[in-house]
Amino acid sequence: MKRREFIKNAGIGVIASSSIAAPAIVHANTGIKWKMVTTWPKNFPVLGTGANELAKLITQMSGGRIKVKVYGAKELIPAFEVFDAVSRGTAQIGHGSAYYWKGKIEEAQFFSTVPYGMNGQEMTSWLYYGGGMQLWEETYKPFGVIPLAAGNTNVQMAGWFNKTINSVKDLQGLKMRIPGLGGEVLKRAGGTPVNLPGGELFTALKTGAIDATEWVGPYNDMAFGLHKAAKYYYYPGWHEPGTTLEAIINKKAYAALPKDLQAIVSNACKVVNQDMSTEFTAKNGVALETLVNKFHVDVKRLPDDVLAKLKTLSHEVVQELAGKNTNAKKIYASYSKFYKQVRAWDDISEKIYYNIR
């Protein structure tokens, strides 16, 4: 009997020790569902597909603990209501660019792009290593939104025009789709800036509702068929030398995540930030070749006097924005300091290499 009792107790001990050694795997916060709203048409090349990739990465890297569903412009809300939707919690995450919210936060434009300012690589460096991210977070904090860099267009084209630009006078009366600080610069040059979502550009240009439009670069512009609506394709993109695309996240939704899921979301944005930039670099060259050789697009450089005037006006606009409030002043001081330092290096590295290769 003692022997049987010993064996029985030993068996219980084995079971207990086995339970301790191999506990059941439990995933916290299973079944979290996020909505992502974007300013881009659904599945639009690079911009829309980049948002899709971000959603896919978050879902896969979290092992399905967060499932993100993407809604393109107008599917759930209008394109320019993304910020408000995320701020209210209607959607947990959004994808767009900061200059679209200038009516709400004017200084947010510094985190998108500055005419004659930093390019994409320089912008990303400022955000991650020059204090830009901290200032961006402070700027969005009152709205319950967390910003993360999630893409960059690199240097854009100046845009599509239905008339030639031979002098500054040709900008007067020009009705052009151009957002952000670039739009204010055009206004001071005598033009009329119009802010339209991407999905409306072709029709507006084709029907004459606008005389010109900028969008991004050859790959995205060709996807919209803009070469079928305008005669002349001008460069350089003085107004958007490196536009940062952003993922904005509802603060409460982000705070509700465990630390590992927060890290997954933020690092997924870093992956997409780099990937979108490299995709634009890879595909813009191919698209430009097609536009020139197949569709015989007339690619033109803006005259030097026009670029000089736009540069002067750009400095005026940026200086005025920097004086709007204390936060704008602080952001501009950080931006300017970093720009000065990185430009000194780029002038004897990147720039000189481009000139000699």
What pLDDT, on the 0 to 100 scale, is given for residue 14?
38
pTM of the full structure = 0.89
Answer yes or no: is pLDDT of 40 > 70.
yes
Q: Which of 198, 150, 154 is nearest to 51 (CA)?
A: 150
Scanning 89-146, the segments in alpha helix (DSSP H) are 120-129, 132-140
CA distance 128 to 39: 24
Residues 6+ apart with CB under 8 A from 210: 175, 176, 177, 194, 196, 204
Give the residue from 304, 97, 82 showing the smallest Cα distance to 181: 97
CB of 52 within 8 A of CB of 43? yes
pLDDT of residue 211: 97
pLDDT at position 165 over 70: yes
Query: pLDDT tens, 48-61?
Result: 999 999 999 999 99
For residue 31, the model assigns a pLDDT of: 84
Phi and psi, residue 155, nearest 5° = -65, 130
Confidence of residue 256 (pLDDT cuts 50, 70, 90): very high
Check pLDDT > 50 for residue 12: no
Distance, CA of 328 to CA of 335 (rounded, Å): 10
Compute, in degrees rounded to 10, the torsion defined by CA atoms 171, 172, 173, 175.
30
pLDDT tens-digit readout, 205-219: 999 999 999 999 999
Which residue spans of the chain are classified as CATH 3.40.190.170? Answer: 32-153+242-282
What mean pLDDT comes out for the span 237-261?
98
Per-residue pLDDT tens over the stretch 341-352: 999 999 999 999
Distance separating alpha carbons of residues 318 and 182, to the nearest angstrom:
10
Helices (runs of H) and strands (runs of E) counted in the chain: 13, 11
Note the pLDDT of residue 142.
98
Mean pLDDT throughout 235-260? 98
CA atoms of 64 and 212, how far apart (whole Å): 44
CA distance 171 to 192: 9
Report pLDDT for 6: 41
pLDDT value at position 30? Answer: 60
Express each pLDDT in 61-105 by its tens digit: 999 999 999 999 999 999 999 999 999 999 999 999 999 999 999
What's 226-284 look like in SS3? HHHCCCEEEECCCCCCCCEEEEEEEHHHHHCCCHHHHHHHHHHHHHHHHHHHHHHHHHH
* CB of 185 closer than 8 Å to CB of 192: no
- Yes or no: say if 247 and 269 are a contact pair by the CB < 8 Å rule: yes
Over 80: is that where the pLDDT of 141 sits?
A: yes
pLDDT at 28 exceeding the cut of 50: no
Tokens of 4: 């049987």
- Start-to-end CA span in the chain (Å): 92
Question: Which value, to the nearest 10 degrees, does the dihedral of the CA atoms of residues 197, 203, 207, 209 take?
Answer: -10
Q: Is the pLDDT of residue 27 over 80?
A: no
In the chain, which segments carry CATH 3.40.190.10? Answer: 159-240+293-324
Decide which of 3.30.830.10, 3.40.190.10, 1.20.1250.20, 3.40.50.10800 is the CATH code for 159-240+293-324. 3.40.190.10
Coil, strand, or helix at residue 305?
Answer: helix
CB atoms < 10 A from the CB of 158, how many?
25
The reported pLDDT for the residue numbered 22 is: 36
Residue 234 Cα to chain centre, angstroms: 22
pLDDT, residue 277, reads: 97
Q: Using the predicted structure, report yes or no on whether residue 25 has a pLDDT greater than 70.
A: no
Here the tokens at position 235 are: 């460069």
**Which bin fits 237, alpha (ψ -120 to 50), beta or left (φ > 0)?**
beta
Place of tokens 């995540």: 257
Q: How far apart are CA 317 and CA 294, in angstroms?
A: 39
- pLDDT tens-digit series, residues 309-338: 999 999 999 999 999 999 999 999 999 999
Please give the mean pLDDT across all residues of the chain: 93
CATH code for residues 32-153+242-282: 3.40.190.170
Token pair for 222? 């060709």
